[in-house]
Structure 1
Amino acid sequence: MRIFRLSEYSLEELNAILNTLNGYISGEWFVFFLLGTGLFFTLYLKFPQFRFFRHAFRIVRGKYDKDGDEGDTSHFQALTTALSGTVGTGNIAGVALAIHVGGPAALFWMIITAVLGMTTKFVEVTLSHKYREKAEDGSIAGGPMYYMKNKLNMKWLAAIFAGATVLSAFGTGNLPQSNSIASSIEATFGLDPKLTGGLLAVLLGFVIIGGIKRIANVTEKLVPLMAVVYLIGAFAVIFFNIENVIPSIVAIFSDVFSGSAATGGFLGGSVALAFTRGVNRGLFSNEAGQGSAPIAHAAAKAHEPVSEGMVAILEPFIDTVLICTLTGITLLSSGVWNEKIENKFQKTDLIVLTQKYDETNAEDIQKLSIHLDGNEKQPVYTGNLNVREGIITNSVSLLHARSLAEDIKVFQEGNLFSGTLNVNAGKIKFPEKVTIRGKSLMHSSPLTTEAFKRSFLGDYGQYIISIGLLLFAFSTAIAWSYYGDRAITYLVGAKGVIYFRIVYVLGFFLAAFTDTTIIWTLSGITIALMTIPNLFGILLLRKDMKETVTKYWKDFDLEWGEAKELPIEKKKAEVE
C-alpha cells in the first residue's frame, strides 16, 4: 500500500501559500486597523490608559472587592493568567527580530503600540466581562464570542472567532512554544527534545486538567518568578554596559523619522521597516485587540465589568512598555544587534547574490540596504556553487540574516565539504546533512542569548535565556489551553473540553521534535482571524462601552465616595 507523504518541497510550497495568504489578511491595512481602533478609543474615552492607571493598581490589590462577587479567580490571578499568555517568546525573540530588521527605532513603535493597546485591552475586557455566561459545568465562560452572541446577535461571527481561537491555541500557544523550549534546552544543556517534550507534556497536563482555578494558582506564582529571573539577567547586562545605555536610548528616539544608518554589520533600516516591524512585534507581544486576554479576565470575580477592564490596562504596560523595553536596551547597549557573530546559517535566512559586494564600499552598502528594504532588488544567483574543502570558490556574495556573511565554511556531518551546491533563484538546495557556518548578524532568541552573555554573568547569562524561555513559553502554553477550552465550550459545550485538553497535551509533546515552521505561519493567519472580528465588534459597541464606563463612576461615587480622588469627570456634560 502506498502511503502519501508531503515532500520538503511540497511543505515549502504550502508555507509560501500560507505566507501569501497571511500577507493579505494581516498586511499593512491590518496594522492601521488595529492601531486606528486603539487611537479611536483613546480619544473617545479620553485617554483611559493614563487617567485610570492608578485606580487599576488599587483594584488589583483587592481594595474594592466584595464577598459576593461572582467568578472563578481574583483580579490578580486573572492578570497573571493573561500575562502568562502574552509574556513569552515575543519578549525575548520578538524584540530582537524587530530591532534586527528595523533598527533601534523599531522599539519606539513597539512602545507606542503598547500605549494604544492599553486602551484596546480596557475596552475588549470590559465588554467581554459584561456579557459573560455561566457554563453548564458551573464555570464562568466569557470572551468576545459572548458579546458577539449576546449583544450583537451575530452568532456566525462568534463562531468564526471561537474557531480561530482553537486554531490559534495550537498555532500560538502550544506547538511553537514547545518547539522553542525543546530547541533551547537541547542547545544549552544537550537534552533530547523528546525527553523535554515528554516531561513538560506531563506537567502541562497536570496543570490544565485542573481547569482555570489550578491554572490561576500556577500562573500567580510562575509569572512573578519568571519576571524576577529575567530582570536579574537584563540588569546584569545593562549595568555591565552602562556607558552605552544613554546612547542606546537616544538612538531609539533619534532614528524614528530618519531611519537607522548602516553601522557595524547592520546594513541600515528604513523608517517604514522600523514602523511595520515595531508595530507588528508589539502587537504579537501584548495581544491587544486579539481578544485572547478577555477570555482569562472574564473568569475574574467582579461585580463591575469596568473594574476588570481597568486591570487589563496594566497588561500591555508590563508586557511591552517594561519588559520589551528592557530587552531592547540590553540588545542595544551590549552591541550585539549590529555585530557579526559566528553561527550556523539558517536556510530561510540565506540568499546567494550573483556578485561580490564590499562592506567598505559605500555604494555597495547602499545597494544592499535598498535590496533588503525591497525597493530595488539585486540580481540573485542561479546555478552551481563549487565548494573545495569547505570554501565556496564562485565569485558570489551570501546574505544571511540581513547581513553580508563572512568567513563562510561548508560542512557535511561535521567535516569540511567538497562538491557542488545547487542554487535556484538565490536559494541553496542543501544535500543531506550539509550545513553552512560563518559570521553574520543574528536575530530572535539567539541574539538575545548573545546579549545576556555580555554581562557580569559572562557565558552563564545564556542560562537565564534558556530558563526564561522555558518559563515564558510554558506559561504561554498554560494560558492558551484555557483560551482554547473556553472556545470549545462555546462551540460544542463543556463535554468537548476534556478531548481538547488531551489533544493539546499530545500536540505539545509531538511539537518538541517536529518542524513547526508552517505552524508559525498559520499562527499569523489565525491571530488575524481572531483580531478582525473582535475589533469590528468593539467598534460597534462603542456607545455601550462609554455608557458602561459612565455608570461605573456614578455607582462608584455613591458607594465609595472617593471620586474626587480619582481622575474622572464628575459632571455629566464632561463624561456624557
Structure 2
Amino acid sequence: MEKMIAQINGIVNNFVWGIPMLVLLVGTGILMTVLTKVFQVSHIGYWMKHTFGSIFTDKHITKHTGAEDKSISQFQSLCTALAATIGTGNIVGVASALIFGGPGAIFWMWIVAFFGMMTNYSENVLGIYFRRKNSKGEWSGGAMYYLRDGLGAKKHMKYVGSVLAVLFSVFCLLASFGIGNMSQINSIAGNMQGAFGIPKLATGIVLMVLAGLVIIGGIKRIASVSEKLVPFMAIIYILGALGICIINGKQVGAAFTAIFKGAFQMKAVGGGIVGSGLKLALTWGMKRGVFSNEAGLGSSVMVHSSSNVKEPVRQGMWGIFEVFADTIVVCTLTALAVLTSGLVDLNTGAVLSSSEGSALVGEAFGTVFGQAGPAFIAIAILLFAFSTVLGWSHYGTKAFEYLFSEKWTIVYRVIFIVFILCGATMNLELAWDLSDTFNGLMAIPNLIGVLVLSPIVMKITKNYVDRRIKHQDIDPMLSAFPEIQAEQARGLDESD
C-alpha cells in the first residue's frame, strides 16, 4: 500500500514540480510584472522606502494594535510571513541546488525571485482587497477568498470559484502538517542529535511545549514572537555568511563568474549530453527558488491579510520585500558562503565535498569558524525551521477556518501541536514527499485566481500610483465590498 501511494505521489509530484508548472509559476510573475509596468524596478526606491525603510522611520508600521483590535501591524505580518518562508529551503534547498544544478542554479533562483516578487505582490493585493472579518473580528483573507468572491463573481464561474477555494484550503491544510510541521521538526531533531547528541524525543517534547504556548495564543501571539525571532535569526545568519564572504573575499568575484557561466552551460558537471547542464541548472534553480520564497503558492497572503493596513498596494509592497529578503539576500549569501569556501570547483562547478544538504553548508561555515561552523548551522536550522512551524500553523488555521468555521480552530491547533512530537520521532520520507506535493498543488488554484483577477491587480496598482505618487485626487480602491471600502476609507492617510 505504501509503495503504491509513493508511486502515485511520484507521478503527481513530477507534474506539480515539473517544467510546465514552473513555467506557469514564472509566467504568472512575468505577466504581473508587465501589467504593473515592472513595478519592482520602476518603483524600487518607493517600495524600499515604504517597507524596509519605514521600519526605522514610521512608528505606525511597527506599533502594536490594541487588545480590541484583532489585526496585527504591517511589520508583524512581514515577520510572520518571513517566519514561514525563511526556513530549511534557505540552507538545505540552496545546498541541493548547488549539488544537483551547479552554481548556475543560483542565477535561475534570482530569475524566479525577480518575477516572483510581482506574483507575491499580486497575491497580497488581492488578499487585502477581498478579505473579510470573521465573527471574532479577525481579518480573514487568502486565495480561498479571492477565488470564491473574486473569480466566483465572474459570469458562470460561481461554482468553479467555490470548488477551487475548497481545493486550495484542503491542500493547504494537508501541507501544513507535512512541510509546515513534521518535516521541519524532523530536520531540527536530526540536526540536534547529530550536532549535540540530544535525543530526538527530547527535542520533540521541548519544541511541542514551546510551540504550544505560542500557537494556542492565536495570530497576535504568533506575530509577537515572530517579530522578535525573525529579525534576530536573520541578522545572525546574515552576519555569519557575510563573515565567510569577507574572509574569502578574493573568491567572491570567481563565485559570481561561476554562477553566470553555469547558468548557460550546455553540459552538466562532469560531461553529459549537450543541453543537460542548462536544463539541470534551470530546473533546480527554479524548483528551489519557488520552494524557498513560496511566491505563487498563495501561502503567505493568509498572514499578510491579517495586517492593519488599509491600502492593498501597501501590503503588496511588503510581499515584494519578503521575496527579496528571502531569496536575493539570504539564499544568495548561503550560496556565496559555500562557493567561496573551497568546497566547489569554481571552474567546473563540481562540488568537491561528499556532504549533502545542511551538512554542506555546515562544512562551509566550518572552514572559517572551525567546529563551531556545523553547530552554528544546526542552531540556524533550529530557529529557521521552528519559525516556519509557527507561520504555517496560522496558514493551516485559516484553511481550517474556511472549511469548518472559526469556532473549531482550537481543534486544529491542538492536533497540529501533537504532530510536532510525531515529526521529531518518525521516519518521514514518504510524509515529506506527500507534503511537498500538497504544497505544490496549492499553486494550481491560486495561480488560476491570480491570472483571472490580474486586471483587478492592475487597476488597483494604477489607482494607488495615481493617488500616492502622482498625487491625483481620485477615490481609492481598498476593498471589493462597499461596507469595508467605506470603513477603510475613513481616516485614510499616508501611513496606511
Instruction: Tell me the TM-score normalized by structure 2.
Output: 0.86
Match of 1:278 in 2: 285
The structure in which a higher percent of residues are helix is: 2
Partner deviation per Cα, 1:99-142 (whole Å, 9 max, x = no partner): 10011100000011001000101101100111111111221111
SS at match of 2:292: helix
Counterpart amino acid of 2:328? V
The structure in which a higher percent of residues are strand is: 1
Q: Does 1:444 align with 2:451?
A: no
Q: How big is the shift at 1:197?
A: 0.4
Q: How many residues align?
A: 453
Match of 1:47 in 2: 38
Match of 1:94 in 2: 93
Kept in 1, the 8 Å contact 2:173–2:396? The answer is: yes
Q: Does 1:331 align with 2:322?
A: no
Match of 1:164 in 2: 171
Kept in 1, the 8 Å contact 2:83–2:384? The answer is: yes
Larger Rg: 1
Counterpart amino acid of 2:233? M
Point out where structure 1 has 5 or more consecutive residues left out of the alignment. Answer: 1-9, 340-364, 370-401, 404-438, 562-576
Match of 1:388 in 2: none
Kept in 1, the 8 Å contact 2:102–2:269? The answer is: no
Task: Pick the aligned partner of 2:322 from 315, 320, 324.
Answer: 315
How high is the sequence identity, in percent, across the aligned residues? 38
Partner deviation per Cα, 1:245-275 (whole Å, 9 max, x = no partner): 21111110012222466479xxx97110000
Q: How big is the shift at 1:337?
A: 4.0
Q: How big is the shift at 1:86?
A: 0.4
- TM-aligned CA distance change 1:199 to 1:338, over 3 Å: farther
- TM-aligned CA distance change 1:187 to 1:536, over 3 Å: same
Point out where structure 2 has 5 or more consecutive residues left out of the alignment. Answer: 153-160, 474-496
Match of 1:459 in 2: 371
SS at match of 2:329: helix
Task: Pick the aligned partner of 1:211 from 213, 218, 223.
Answer: 218
Task: Give the alignment's Cα RMSD to 1 decimal.
Answer: 2.6
Q: How big is the shift at 1:168?
A: 1.0
SS at match of 1:255: helix
Match of 2:461 in 1: 549
Aligned pairs (5 A) from 1:53-92: 53-60=44-51, 61=54, 63=58, 72-92=71-91
Kept in 1, the 8 Å contact 2:78–2:322? The answer is: yes
Match of 2:118 in 1: 119
Partner deviation per Cα, 1:540-572 (whole Å, 9 max, x = no partner): 1111111111222333258799xxxxxxxxxxx
Q: How big is the shift at 1:458?
A: 1.0
Task: Pick the aligned partner of 2:238 from 231, 250, 257.
Answer: 231
Q: Distance in 1 between matches of 2:267 and 2:238?
A: 28
Match of 1:494 in 2: 406
Kept in 1, the 8 Å contact 2:466–2:472? The answer is: no
Q: How big is the shift at 1:488?
A: 0.8
Q: Distance in 2 between matches of 1:281 and 1:211?
A: 30
Match of 1:138 in 2: 137
Q: Structure 1 residues 291-300 or 16-25, which shifts more? A: 16-25
Q: Distance in 2 between matches of 1:29 and 1:190?
A: 43
Q: How big is the shift at 1:173?
A: 0.9
Match of 1:241 in 2: 248
Q: Distance in 2 between matches of 1:71 and 1:112?
A: 37
Q: How big is the shift at 1:315?
A: 0.9
Counterpart amino acid of 1:474? F
Q: Distance in 2 between matches of 1:277 and 1:140?
A: 36
Counterpart amino acid of 1:526? F
Counterpart amino acid of 2:360? L
Q: Does 1:33 align with 2:24?
A: yes
